[in-house]
């Protein structure tokens, strides 16, 4: 690959910012909280001592400031791993590519990424309005199959693939795990578990409104394979972090218990608790 990136590959806006995130290198901290919902960004940054940068484009809202003197960024990713593909590549470009000369930097910078989201549990004993940290993740969204050099096997994958009964879905699966040292910050979370990331909220997660899902036993089968919860971003965050050399950990608020048919009756309060819990642990 040529070292100098063409204008069609590393796309920049008129002010030199990266195309979708609309950010310049100086707009982000090394510690970044990723949330799905754009409305959650201000709910996090209101705890900052000072917000210096507020920028947005499409569903990508970014606030950067300081908290207890430390520089920190909170950014919304919108929904889904296709958005995470954009977020991860553009965040990495901001720190590891010289955007003016369009060349790779010789020194690598590792970002610390903290996804703070919502999820549904498939373990009937995992109660709503509690926090669940993802150790292992299986992506059923296929994203990493478009990238070279991804290591598809790990300890979790071998056991999972042996027993996963859906032959047609199997070829699109990929696996990743958390960054252990960031996970250490969350060791007192109520739940730790294995997450499945899906490319949809309805049939992919076994929900049936007017359309039938793959299998009525989907949730039970995944839980038997040691999956605790579902959401829509962590597989791509963990896997692309591994490939690009960043650190990542996810903690999600459980807002739905799918096996018991329960949904949080006060997810605003549990969201507030999650924000405070995370900020307390990631800022020194
Ligand atoms: C679906 O409602 C969305 O909520 C979850 C899913 O991953 C998906 O993005 O996370 P967020 O609350 O962070 O968006
Ligand atoms: N987010 C999801 O993706 N699924 C749920 O059930 C709840 C939140």
Per residue in 79-91, pLDDT (tens digit) is 999 999 999 999 9
Residue 201 Cβ < 6 Å to ligand 1: yes
Q: How far is the CA of 277 from the centre of ligand 1 (A)?
A: 19
Q: What is the pTM of this model?
A: 0.98
Only one residue has tokens 């060349």, namely 103
Q: Measured from the CB, is residue 206 less than 6 Å from ligand 1?
A: no
The pLDDT confidence band at residue 2, using thresholds 50, 70 and 90, is: low
Neighbouring CB atoms inside 10 A of 209's CB total 8
ipTM at complex level: 0.99
pLDDT digits (tens, 9 = 90+) for 36-61: 999 999 999 999 999 999 999 999 99
Residue 30 pLDDT: 98
Element (H, E) at 257: strand 247-257
Which residues contact ligand 2 via a Cβ below 6 A?
A: 118-120, 201, 205, 230-232, 255-256
SS3 assignment for 131-154: EEEEEEEEECCCHHHHCCCCCCCC
Q: Which domains does the chain have, with CATH numbers?
A: 25-282 (3.40.50.1580)
Nearest ligand 2 atom to the CA of 198 is 3
Q: What CA–CA distance (Å, rounded) separates 266 from 255? A: 9
Beta strands 60-67; 70-76: pairing state: antiparallel
- The answer to whether 233 touches 197, Cβ cutoff 8 Å, is yes
For ligand 1, whether the C-beta of 196 sits within 6 Å is no
């Amino acid at each position: 690959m040529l070292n100098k990136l063409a204008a069609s590959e590393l796309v920049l806006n008129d002010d030199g910012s990266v195309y979708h995130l609309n950010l310049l290198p100086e707009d982000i901290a090394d510690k970044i909280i990723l949330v799905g919902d754009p409305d959650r960004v201000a709910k996090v940054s209101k705890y900052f001592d000072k917000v210096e940068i507020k920028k947005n484009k499409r569903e990508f809202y970014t606030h950067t400031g300081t908290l207890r003197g430390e520089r920190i960024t909170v950014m919304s990713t919108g929904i889904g791993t296709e958005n995470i593909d954009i977020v991860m590549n553009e965040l990495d470009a901001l720190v590891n590519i010289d955007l003016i000369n369009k060349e790779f930097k010789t020194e690598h910078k590792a970002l610390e990424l903290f996804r703070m989201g919502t999820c549904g549990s498939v373990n009937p004993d995992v109660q709503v309005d509690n926090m669940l940290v993802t150790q292992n993740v299986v992506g059923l969204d296929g994203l990493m199959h478009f990238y070279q050099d991804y290591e598809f096997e790990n300890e979790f994958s071998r056991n999972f693939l042996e027993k996963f009964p859906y032959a047609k879905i199997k070829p699109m699966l990929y696996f990743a795990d958390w960054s252990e040292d960031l996970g250490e910050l969350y060791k007192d979370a109520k739940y730790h578990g294995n997450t499945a990331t899906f490319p949809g909220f309805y049939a992919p997660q076994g929900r049936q409104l007017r359309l039938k899902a793959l299998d009525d036993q989907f949730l039970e089968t995944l839980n038997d394979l040691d999956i605790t919860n579902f959401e829509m971003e962590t597989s791509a965050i963990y896997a692309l972090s591994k490939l690009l050399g960043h650190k990542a950990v996810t903690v999600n608020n459980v807002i739905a218990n799918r096996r018991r048919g329960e949904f949080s009756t006060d997810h605003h309060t549990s969201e507030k608790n999650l924000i405070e819990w995370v900020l307390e642990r990631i800022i020194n």
